[in-house]
């Protein structure tokens, strides 16, 4: 998973609220692009993938040499491994205990 606050700024560092950004991430399934409209000034966007992320590219949707795409508070995360349900091992254990009890009972009588 990856996410962050994205904005566009001028040479002077002032935010440019009229920008739209192409945000492209690449994973095992290929490249995925999202257009982020910054008419409110900045925006947060995040991506979650079931395969490892390979790259992140941020560019202006409309080319403008006096404006720069900017990323703030970039966050990277890893999906936790699946935790097995306790029901399966518990059922297996209960079945084995049941078989042992049946075998013990058959041996007695």
pTM: 0.60
Q: Yes or no: say if 2 and 74 are a contact pair by the CB < 8 Å rule.
A: yes
Q: Is 14 exposed, middle or buried (0-12, 13-18, 19+ CB in 10 A)?
A: exposed
Between CA 30 and CA 45 the distance in angstroms is 19
As given in the structure block, the two tokens for residue 98 are 């049941």
**C-alpha–C-alpha distance, residues 13 and 15, integer Å:** 6
pLDDT tens digits, 43-84: 888 888 888 888 989 888 876 567 888 888 888 877 666 666
Residue 16: per-residue pLDDT: 79
Whole-number Å distance between alpha carbons of 53 and 30: 10
pLDDT tens string 3-57: 888 888 887 878 777 788 888 999 889 999 988 888 776 688 888 888 888 898 9
């Amino acid at each position: 998973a990856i996410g962050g606050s994205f904005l566009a700024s001028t040479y002077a560092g002032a935010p440019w609220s009229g920008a739209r950004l192409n945000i492209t991430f690449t994973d095992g399934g290929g490249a995925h692009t999202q257009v982020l409209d910054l008419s409110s000034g900045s925006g947060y966007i995040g991506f979650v993938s079931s395969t490892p992320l390979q790259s992140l590219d941020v560019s202006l949707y409309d080319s403008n040499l006096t404006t720069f795409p900017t990323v703030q508070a970039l966050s990277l995360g890893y999906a936790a491994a699946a935790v097995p349900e306790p029901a399966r091992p518990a059922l297996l254990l209960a079945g084995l205990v049941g078989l042992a009890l049946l075998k013990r009972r058959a041996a007695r009588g």
